[in-house]
């Protein structure tokens, strides 16, 4: 069987046409290169090079063989580069899921960073609620998914990795009546993005209409909140642009006895080795959530 190392030595010698220069490029001694080419010629049963005082030149059989060998060497080097990039999480494909709320807050920024840093890594992302992401994880169609804690059913063991926390926010339009803190008997509709139980703060319980409207699309939720008196229960991190543009505002409420934050988790199958790309993405998500917390 032909040795790729010998073929690489052969292609370098063919390009340099001189044993001394080729040996220097390869980082080996000239006698070692000479022995390698002699061994290869013996293995093939024909001469690859004609030798003279000025150096070496390919024989007709040698030229045909080197042309084919160069393709093999180039493919092998490309495969090696591909493996290195895959090991570092910069090549290949990563398929994962993310729930709408963390997707709105994190996905544009983290994917911008990843595409600029690793343009050869293909990101295949599914944005759905946990009810749809869970079967995709179990069947192996996605490597992991990211969502708020407390939505995963009791099922096969999963690896749960905390990424950080999002604040629980009660979002309204900029000039919502509740922002004035004036006394009112008005009741307002509630918007949520999934069917999880919602614990309203005591100071909002008597001012809202139940049950809430469940709408999975965050663009629609943002538009409804900006154009009606509805109260959207989500996280300020997911609407940072709308808040910066003063389209939406956050109600100052008493959270007790409800929770004050969402823990954002990465869920993957317990016995499945995580890819380098997944580990890199986990680190980037963790850092981004930390940055959002520092800016808040």
> CB 223: neighbour CB atoms within 10 A?
13
SS3 80: helix
Residue with tokens 């490309």: 78
Looking at the domain that runs over 4-87, which CATH code has it been given? 1.10.10.10
Structure tokens at 122: 């293909």
Q: Does domain 92-165+262-295 have CATH number 2.120.10.30?
A: no
Q: What letter would DSSP give residue 274?
A: P
Backbone angles phi, psi at 45, to 5 degrees: 90, 15
Helices 4-16 and 19-26: crossing angle, nearest 10°?
130
Nearest to 171 by CA among 245, 242, 248, 259: 248
Measure the CA–CA gap between 115 and 207, rounded to whole angstroms: 45
- The CB density around residue 123, as the number of other CB atoms within 10 Å, is 16
3-class DSSP state of 282? helix
Can you list the alpha helix ranges (DSSP code H) found in the chain?
4-16, 19-26, 30-44, 60-87, 100-117, 130-138, 202-205, 218-227, 240-244, 276-295
User: DSSP state, 115?
Assistant: H
Please give the chain's pLDDT, 296 residues, in tens: 778 888 889 998 988 899 989 999 889 999 999 999 999 989 889 999 998 877 789 999 989 998 888 888 878 776 776 666 566 677 778 899 999 999 999 999 999 988 998 898 889 999 998 989 988 988 788 989 999 987 777 656 788 999 999 999 999 999 999 887 666 678 999 999 887 766 788 778 888 988 899 998 888 999 999 999 999 999 999 999 999 999 999 998 765 555 688 899 999 988 777 888 888 899 999 999 999 998 87
DSSP designation for 152: P
Fold match between domain 4-87 and domain 92-165+262-295: no
The Cα 127–Cα 139 span in angstroms is 17
Q: What is the pLDDT of residues 23-80, one digit of tens each?
A: 998 899 999 999 999 999 898 899 999 988 777 899 999 899 988 888 888 787 767 7
- Say what angle helices 60-87 and 4-16 make with each other, to 10 degrees: 120
To the question of pTM greater than 0.85 for the whole model, the response is no
User: What are the boundaries of each domain within the chain?
Assistant: 4-87, 92-165+262-295, 169-258
Angle, vertex CA 254, rays to CA 249 and CA 256, nearest 5 = 135
- 233 Cβ contact partners less than 8 Å away, ≥ 6 residues apart: 168, 169, 170, 171, 190, 191, 192, 198, 200, 212
The total number of residues shown for the chain amounts to 296
- Tokens 């993005």 — which residue? 193
Q: Which CATH number fits domain 169-258: 3.55.40.20, 3.40.50.300, 3.40.190.10, 3.40.190.80?
A: 3.40.190.10
């Amino acid at each position: 069987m032909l040795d790729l190392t010998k073929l690489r030595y052969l292609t370098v010698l063919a390009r340099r046409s001189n044993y001394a220069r080729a040996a220097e490029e390869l980082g080996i001694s000239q006698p070692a290169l000479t022995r390698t080419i002699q061994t290869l010629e013996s293995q093939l049963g024909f001469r690859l090079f004609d030798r003279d005082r000025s150096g070496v030149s390919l024989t007709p059989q040698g030229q045909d063989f080197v042309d084919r060998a160069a393709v093999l060497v180039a493919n092998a080097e490309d495969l090696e580069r591909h493996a290195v990039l895959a090991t570092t999480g910069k090549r290949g494909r990563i398929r994962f899921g993310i729930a709408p709320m963390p997707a709105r807050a994190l996905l544009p920024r983290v994917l911008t960073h990843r595409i600029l840093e690793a343009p050869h890594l293909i990101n295949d992302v599914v944005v759905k609620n946990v009810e749809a992401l869970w079967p995709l994880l179990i069947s192996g169609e996605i490597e992991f998914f990211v969502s708020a804690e407390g939505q995963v059913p009791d099922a096969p063991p999963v690896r749960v990795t905390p990424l950080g926390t999002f604040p629980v926010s009660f979002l309204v339009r900029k000039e919502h009546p509740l922002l004035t803190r004036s006394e009112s008997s008005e009741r307002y509709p509630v918007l949520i993005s999934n069917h999880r139980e919602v614990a309203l703060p005591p100071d909002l319980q008597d001012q809202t209409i139940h049950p809430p409207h469940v709408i999975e699309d965050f663009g629609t939720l943002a538009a409804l909140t900006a154009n009606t008196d509805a109260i959207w229960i989500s996280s300020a991190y997911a609407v940072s642009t709308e808040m910066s543009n003063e389209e939406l505002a956050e109600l100052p409420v008493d959270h007790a006895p409800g929770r004050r934050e969402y823990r954002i988790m990465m869920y993957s199958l317990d016995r499945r080795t995580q890819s380098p790309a997944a580990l890199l993405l986990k680190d980037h998500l963790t850092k981004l959530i930390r940055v959002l917390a520092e800016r808040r």
